[in-house]
Chains A and B, each alone.
Chain A
Amino acid sequence: MIGASVFFKELKTGGVANIYGFYSVSAEPGLYTVEFSFIGSQSITKQIDLTTSQTLNIELSPSAASLNMVEVVGEAQNKNVEEVQMSTIDMKMETIKKIPALMGEVDVIRAIQLLPGVQSGGEGSTGFFVRGGGLDQNLILLDEAPVYNASHLFGIFSVFNQDAIKNAELYKGGIPARYGGRLSSVLDVRMKEGNSKKTKVSGGIGLISSRLTIEGPIVKDKISYVISGRRTYGDLFLKLLPSDNPASDAELFFYDLNGKVNWRINNKNRVFISAYTGRDVLGAGDLFKLGWGNQTVSARWNHIFSDRLFSNFTGIYSNFNYNLGVPSGPNEFVWTSKILNYSFKNDYTFYANTNNTVKFGIQSTYHTFKPAIIEPGLINDAFNKIEFFNRYAWENGIYVSNEQKIGGRFTLQYGLRLSSFSNVGRDTVYTYDEEYNNTGFDAYESGDVYNTFANLEPRLAAKFTIDDVSSVKASYNRMTQYLHLATNSTGGAPLDVWMPSSTNTAPGIADQIALGYFRNLNKNMFETSVEVYYKVLQNQIDFADNANILLNKQLEGVIRQGGGESFGAEFYVKKQTGKLTGWVSYTLSRATRMVEGINDGNTYLANYHRPHSVSIVATYALNKKLDLSATWVHNTGTRLTAPTGRFNYGGELIPVYSDRNASKMPDYHRADVGLNWKISDDDKRWKNSLNFSIYNVYARQNAFAINFVNNEVNLPTARMTYLFSIIPSITWNFEF
């Protein structure tokens, strides 16, 4: 049980089960009163005589409190004050489910975007930006497997199915040494483990999708499984159209399938295998077809060497690919692109003594990049097969860290990660002179390790407890990122091209310091925090002015690298108990870039620079069966480069542009409301509920894009594209 706690009353010390359900407390031999407790379960208190080595298995039974109350108890801990880790937020699926959802699709990433320090990519986007970092700087992990593109339907929804996910933890700063490979954040998403006692079925029917989850024991208390699926069905309605309507053979859907099997072999060994596959399909008969998706598999063996030494051996596979083209006819072609990796991890936790917890481990990943293969159909002679060179790389990391308690008030966490990245043949690498002119290419044989980067990444965190309800924390982290996402969009478009660092493109480096004050009020009813951060980025990529981005074999020749800087202050107040719960967050920030050759080499604002960002999330329990919820967000508008004038050249009217991102779109704001109605009583085996959501209650037309075009009477005009007006939705959920 993650988060289950054990408390030695005599010592006034205890531990919380880690993410693998293990905990460790060091104590002198003697007689102790130990309390075991867990969210939503009745606490058990036992007398333990610690003179001999013994194994105690405590089974906690669910408490009589309602689910609503369960959550209140769960969040009543003063974890945010006590833990050394700062700049992190743990989101439970139960909390996320109460937030009003777009089209009824409860979404982890949309919930994350409501937190301080996290900016959304814009209307209808599950891309997110953490503390001035880019879209590709978030390490999104699903049971430890990286997810390269977490978006469905061009970013309107994320790939995380609400029924398959247990919780999501976001690290914005002070990132522990066990994580590496991205500059700005880690979003660690964990799948449910499955009920090991009895078989349960749950699901939901919504306006655009349906979900079904089955979980239960294969061998009671030993092996459990969970399988969860979701599919949208917009296209099924299109099929009802008359067959002469061109939209009747259109395809537009996505699906997700999650599965996990847990096997508790014995007290020292546990194994799980977790897998995900999901895909978007968009097509219109013979005209075109587009599909993209991720597949991940992770298998982990959890082994306890001794009471103090825990270990994990994890094998990981991840793959993101897309294909598009014309499915048949004289213009038939298919374009495929793929990034995939195999990874092995071995992590250890060593509980040295009461005051020191050491973590160390290694990770090795083999990356394969297949940027593009474009194959014409048999009768399409318009062009020859176009094939971009595959690229290969080997990424390694080794880390060690220690969390050390010094006296009763001070906790230090210090660690070091050594990362390396090697480009491996077979490869053909274009070479460029100082002015980015192609000067030829270097060819490498299969298996040639022709270029290696290595970086030391120190991580530091400190906490000083002022009193029971308040603490100050500080952290520093250096992160290195060896993969770059070549994209011109901020939203997570499916046509992403990931490229490795190489002889032409240096790895990105981020240094971040953060300082925070944490205070809980009124017996932990309110959790408050203020954090400030300052982040310096190196080797950020951008494109040369007017570069050819699409299908450019010499993409590295149009990449420009430069620095970035961001800083900000995050204010967060969360009410955890009572009828009214929720949070208010406000972020004041600035994010800039400076890249040689772009904007005349002058500093410019990043396009996701949003100086002011406010989110209010509130849930009000009207009674045991009805929950009302509402959110309101207000962000400064997205930056854009707008024309400031125009001129005539070669008979064409050419815009003159401002400095890069010197203008901004109108501010973004929106309110959503929701109502959860539990139709059946909590003690019934068959439970069902209805969820009503209204997205964008006051029908604000928020800009998705602004283009400068000529209108009907040929006058230049600013034309705003917006995606959503008011969208009501209803979802029926059931469980038995």
Chain B
Amino acid sequence: MKIRLFLSAFAFVIASSSCTKDIDFDLNEEQERIVVDALITNVKQKHLIRITKTTTFFKTYVDAPAAENANVVVSDGTNTYLCIEETPGHYYTAELAFEADKNYSLTIDYEGTTYTANDYMNSTIEIDTIRTTESEEFSFQSGQEELLASVIMEAQESPGLGDHYLWKLQVKKPDTAYKDLSPTYRDWTFSSDEFVDGRSPVDGWPIFERIPTSEIVSGSTVRVQMFGISKGYYDFLDGLGKQVFRGGLFDGPPANISSNFDNGALGYFVAASERIAFTTKE
């Protein structure tokens, strides 16, 4: 939004008119905590539960250290699914599809502590079609108009507020493997149904915008994953943005993002219905 952009510019003017200095600051480095990145869906596959550990703040960051030899179990209340550690910190379920409209729990036993999280797998809407478009847009990098691509989704949103969505994008150019265009949080798109509730927008939903046209060349296969996520996870994603894009004059006080785990574990256990749609760029 242009107003936010303006405010950032304004904050920059203020910041640049003062002086800065790097200082020694004693942080109360706290005990290591575990960080969970877990996603189970209704698509038949081996679902990944990745467990890492926090690191001290003032340290060159290499890779998150894995939390190994944990006991990891998914449960829907009746059935339990044991996860196997295939590589350090990466725990997989057997190949299976979880059912939507059920509550799931994830229990992790690690170094004598048990961590538990719950998430409800909402069923989600169908994707009618996806398509790509191209248009001239102002590029902040080059300062000029540039041809940029968008991915548009056509779908009928279900009536009643409270639905939340997360999209990820992969593209396979002719004669290459799929490339993940959503490798990190800042390349994901998520939204609530606040502005589209119960509607099918006339021009579709622009779910990915401002993609360099070199990423989606003629003949490319575009693959979109859509996840129907819980409000809890939506709030978590929204909170992540506050951390990732922090530094403005208008930030609230810093605060940890609420996890759905107990006992101080970080991250989120996500149970989401997944839809996958494809299109080919002509």
In contact, A720 and B20 (Cβ under 8 angstroms):
yes
In contact, B254 and A722 (Cβ under 8 angstroms):
no
In contact, A662 and B28 (Cβ under 8 angstroms):
yes
Report how far A548 CA is from B244 CA in the complex, Å: 14
Report how far A324 CA is from B3 CA in the complex, Å: 10
Partner of A547, one of B13, B249, B252: B252
- Which residues of B230-282 are within 8 A (CB) of A? 231, 238-240, 242-244, 247, 249-258, 266-268
Task: Write out the residue numbers on chain B whose beta carbons fall within 8 Å of the beta carbon of A714.
Answer: 60
Chain A: which residue is nearest B183 at the CB level?
Answer: A651
In contact, A647 and B54 (Cβ under 8 angstroms):
yes
Smallest distance from the beta carbon of A547 to chain B beta carbons, Å?
Answer: 5
Instruction: Answer yes or no: A424 CB below 8 A from chain B CBs.
Output: no
Task: Write out the residue numbers on chain B whose beta carbons fall within 8 Å of the beta carbon of A658.
Answer: 27-28, 30
In contact, B20 and A721 (Cβ under 8 angstroms):
yes
Task: Write out the residue numbers on chain B whose beta carbons fall within 8 Å of the beta carbon of A647.
Answer: 33, 35, 52-55, 64, 266-267
Interface residue stretch chosen among B71-79, B184-192, B208-216 = B184-192
In contact, A654 and B28 (Cβ under 8 angstroms):
no
Task: Write out the residue numbers on chain A whose beta carbons fall within 8 Å of the beta carbon of B256.
Answer: 545, 656-657
Report how far A610 CA is from B19 CA in the complex, Å: 24
Smallest distance from the beta carbon of A114 to chain B beta carbons, Å?
Answer: 24
Instruction: Answer yes or no: A694 CB below 8 A from chain B CBs.
Output: no
In contact, B54 and A719 (Cβ under 8 angstroms):
no
Smallest distance from the beta carbon of B268 to chain A beta carbons, Å?
Answer: 8
Instruction: Answer yes or no: A711 CB below 8 A from chain B CBs.
Output: yes
Instruction: Answer yes or no: A709 CB below 8 A from chain B CBs.
Output: yes
- Which residues of B44-59 are within 8 A (CB) of A? 52-59
Q: Chain A 629-651, CB within 8 Å of chain B: the 1/0 string? A: 00000000000011111111111
Smallest distance from the beta carbon of A613 to chain B beta carbons, Å?
Answer: 22
Instruction: Answer yes or no: B82 CB below 8 A from chain A CBs.
Output: no
In contact, A652 and B242 (Cβ under 8 angstroms):
no
Instruction: Answer yes or no: B22 CB below 8 A from chain A CBs.
Output: yes
In contact, B252 and A646 (Cβ under 8 angstroms):
no
Interface residue stretch chosen among A211-219, A269-277, A283-291, A344-352 = A283-291
Interface residue stretch chosen among B4-12, B107-115, B125-133, B197-205 = B4-12
Interface residue stretch chosen among A81-89, A298-306, A460-468, A487-495 = A487-495
Instruction: Answer yes or no: B23 CB below 8 A from chain A CBs.
Output: yes
In contact, A641 and B254 (Cβ under 8 angstroms):
yes
In contact, B251 and A718 (Cβ under 8 angstroms):
no
Task: Write out the residue numbers on chain B whose beta carbons fall within 8 Å of the beta carbon of A598.
Answer: 255
Task: Write out the residue numbers on chain A whose beta carbons fall within 8 Å of the beta carbon of B52.
Answer: 647-648
Instruction: Answer yes or no: B14 CB below 8 A from chain A CBs.
Output: yes
Task: Assess A655 versus B243: contact at CB under 8 Å? Given A333-B3, A335-B3, A706-B23.
Answer: yes
Report how far A641 CA is from B251 CA in the complex, Å: 13
Smallest distance from the beta carbon of A37 to chain B beta carbons, Å?
Answer: 50
Instruction: Answer yes or no: A58 CB below 8 A from chain B CBs.
Output: no
Partner of B240, one of A645, A652, A704, A719: A652
In contact, A704 and B57 (Cβ under 8 angstroms):
no
Partner of B249, one of A493, A651, A662: A493
Smallest distance from the beta carbon of A144 to chain B beta carbons, Å?
Answer: 33
Smallest distance from the beta carbon of B38 to chain A beta carbons, Å?
Answer: 11
In contact, B21 and A663 (Cβ under 8 angstroms):
no
Give the tally of cross-chain contacts (CB within 8 A).
Answer: 184
Report how far A651 CA is from B52 CA in the complex, Å: 12
Task: Write out the residue numbers on chain B whose beta carbons fall within 8 Å of the beta carbon of A543.
Answer: 252-253
Task: Write out the residue numbers on chain B whose beta carbons fall within 8 Å of the beta carbon of A643.
Answer: 27, 57, 254
In contact, B1 and A641 (Cβ under 8 angstroms):
no
Partner of B22, one of A374, A646, A717: A717
Instruction: Answer yes or no: B94 CB below 8 A from chain A CBs.
Output: no
In contact, B185 and A649 (Cβ under 8 angstroms):
yes
Instruction: Answer yes or no: A723 CB below 8 A from chain B CBs.
Output: yes
Report how far A550 CA is from B249 CA in the complex, Å: 10
Instruction: Answer yes or no: A3 CB below 8 A from chain B CBs.
Output: no
In contact, A288 and B55 (Cβ under 8 angstroms):
no
Chain A: which residue is nearest B161 at the CB level?
Answer: A438
Chain A: which residue is nearest B185 at the CB level?
Answer: A650
Instruction: Answer yes or no: A581 CB below 8 A from chain B CBs.
Output: no
Task: Assess A641 versus B255: contact at CB under 8 Å? Given A653-B61, A658-B30, A720-B21.
Answer: yes
- Which residues of A697-730 are within 8 A (CB) of B? 701, 703-704, 706-709, 711, 714-723, 725
In contact, A645 and B54 (Cβ under 8 angstroms):
yes
Report how far A154 CA is from B17 CA in the complex, Å: 13
Report how far A549 CA is from B242 CA in the complex, Å: 11
In contact, A546 and B21 (Cβ under 8 angstroms):
no
In contact, A652 and B244 (Cβ under 8 angstroms):
yes
Smallest distance from the beta carbon of B15 to chain A beta carbons, Å?
Answer: 7
In contact, A331 and B55 (Cβ under 8 angstroms):
no
Smallest distance from the beta carbon of B258 to chain A beta carbons, Å?
Answer: 7
Interface footprint category on B: 35 or more
Instruction: Answer yes or no: B25 CB below 8 A from chain A CBs.
Output: yes
In contact, B22 and A718 (Cβ under 8 angstroms):
yes
Report how far A437 CA is from B27 CA in the complex, Å: 35
Instruction: Answer yes or no: B18 CB below 8 A from chain A CBs.
Output: yes
Smallest distance from the beta carbon of B257 to chain A beta carbons, Å?
Answer: 6
Of listed A154, A550, A714, A719, residue having the most chain B CB within 10 A: A550
Report how far A643 CA is from B35 CA in the complex, Å: 16
In contact, A654 and B244 (Cβ under 8 angstroms):
yes
Chain A: which residue is nearest B25 at the CB level?
Answer: A718
Report how far A326 CA is from B243 CA in the complex, Å: 28
Partner of B251, one of A488, A495, A607, A656: A488
Smallest distance from the beta carbon of B186 to chain A beta carbons, Å?
Answer: 7
Task: Assess A656 versus B249: contact at CB under 8 Å? Given A646-B55, A648-B35, A721-B19.
Answer: no
Report how far A543 CA is from B1 CA in the complex, Å: 23
Instruction: Answer yes or no: B86 CB below 8 A from chain A CBs.
Output: no
Task: Write out the residue numbers on chain A whose beta carbons fall within 8 Å of the beta carbon of B24.
Answer: 718
Report how far A437 CA is from B162 CA in the complex, Å: 10
Instruction: Answer yes or no: A382 CB below 8 A from chain B CBs.
Output: yes
Task: Write out the residue numbers on chain A whose beta carbons fall within 8 Å of the beta carbon of B18.
Answer: 704, 721-723
Task: Write out the residue numbers on chain A whose beta carbons fall within 8 Å of the beta carbon of B238.
Answer: 546, 548
Task: Write out the residue numbers on chain A whose beta carbons fall within 8 Å of the beta carbon of B186.
Answer: 652
Instruction: Answer yes or no: A97 CB below 8 A from chain B CBs.
Output: no
Task: Write out the residue numbers on chain B whose beta carbons fall within 8 Å of the beta carbon of A704.
Answer: 18
Partner of B33, one of A335, A645, A666: A645
Smallest distance from the beta carbon of A653 to chain B beta carbons, Å?
Answer: 6
Report how far A641 CA is from B267 CA in the complex, Å: 20
Partner of B255, one of A288, A660, A715: A660
In contact, A663 and B27 (Cβ under 8 angstroms):
yes
Report how far A714 CA is from B41 CA in the complex, Å: 36
In contact, B58 and A649 (Cβ under 8 angstroms):
no
- Which residues of B72-106 are within 8 A (CB) of A? none
Task: Assess A646 versus B185: contact at CB under 8 Å? Given A488-B251, A546-B252.
Answer: no
Partner of B253, one of A641, A707, A725: A641
Task: Assess A644 versus B30: contact at CB under 8 Å? Given A720-B22, A721-B18.
Answer: yes
Report how far A331 CA is from B33 CA in the complex, Å: 46
Instruction: Answer yes or no: B37 CB below 8 A from chain A CBs.
Output: yes
Task: Write out the residue numbers on chain A whose beta carbons fall within 8 Å of the beta carbon of B22.
Answer: 711, 717-720
Report how far A598 CA is from B251 CA in the complex, Å: 16
Given A649-B240, A649-B267, A706-B25, 19 further pairs, Cβ under 8 A: A374-B3, A488-B250, A546-B239, A546-B243, A607-B253, A645-B30, A645-B32, A646-B55, A647-B53, A648-B63, A652-B243, A658-B30, A660-B255, A663-B25, A663-B28, A703-B23, A716-B59, A718-B24, A719-B21
Q: List 19 A-B contacts (CB under 8 A).
A: A284-B13, A331-B6, A546-B257, A550-B7, A643-B57, A644-B28, A644-B30, A645-B57, A647-B33, A647-B266, A649-B267, A650-B188, A651-B184, A656-B33, A658-B27, A704-B18, A711-B22, A719-B21, A722-B19
A binding-site residues for B, Cβ under 8 Å: 154, 284, 287-288, 290, 324-326, 331, 333, 335, 374, 382-383, 437, 488-489, 493, 495, 543, 545-551, 598, 607, 641-658, 660, 662-663, 666, 701, 703-704, 706-709, 711, 714-723, 725
Q: Which 10 A-B pairs have the closest CB atoms?
A: A651-B184, A650-B185, A545-B255, A718-B25, A546-B239, A648-B64, A647-B35, A644-B30, A645-B54, A546-B242
